[in-house]
Amino acid sequence: MINEILFMNGYGVYVWSSFIFTLIGFFILYSAIKLQLIKEQKKFDAKFKNLSSEKVELAKKQETYRELLPNTSVSKI
Amino acid sequence: MLNYFNPNNILFIINRLRKFVFATFIIVLLIGLFEALILSPEDYKQSDSVRIMYVHVPSAWISLGIFSLISILSFGILIFKNKNFSLIAKSLAPSGLLFNIIALATGSIWGRPTWGTWWAWDARITSMLLLAIFYLMYILSWRVTDNNEKAIKVSSIIAIIGLINVPIIKFSVDWWSTLHQPASVNLLKETTIHSSMLVPLAIMTAAFALFSLLIFLMKYNTELIKIKNKGLDRL
Q: Please identify every stretch of chain B with a pLDDT value under 50, giving residue numbers as ranges.
A: none
- pLDDT, position A61: 67
- A17 contact residues in B (CB cutoff 8 A): 109
AA letter at B128: M
- pLDDT, position A65: 53
pLDDT tens across B216-235, in order? 999 999 988 888 887 777 76
How many folded domains does chain B comprise? 1
Q: Mean pLDDT across chain B, nearest whole number? A: 89
Kindly determine whether residue B95 and residue A29, on different chains, have CB atoms separated by under 8 Å. Answer: yes
Q: Which residue in the set B8, B101, B106 is minimally distant from A67, CB to CB? A: B8
Residue B164 domain-assigned (yes or no) = yes
Residue B45 domain-assigned (yes or no) = no
- pLDDT, position B145: 78
- B220 contact residues in A (CB cutoff 8 A): none
Residue range of the domain that includes A39: 2-76
How many folded domains does chain A comprise? 1
Residue range of the domain that includes B109: 15-40+51-182+193-234
Residue B92 domain-assigned (yes or no) = yes
Residue B116 domain-assigned (yes or no) = yes
Residue B3 domain-assigned (yes or no) = no
Give residue A56's pLDDT band: very low, low, confident or very high (50, 70, 90). confident
Residue B9 domain-assigned (yes or no) = no
B interface mutation test: which of A9, A18, A27, A39 has the most B CBs within 10 A? A18
Phi, psi (degrees; rounded to nearest 5) at B161: -65, -40
Rounded CA gap, A18 and B110, in Å? 8
Rounded CA gap, B159 and B181, in Å? 28
- pLDDT, position B2: 52
Give residue A76's pLDDT band: very low, low, confident or very high (50, 70, 90). very low
Residue B157 domain-assigned (yes or no) = yes
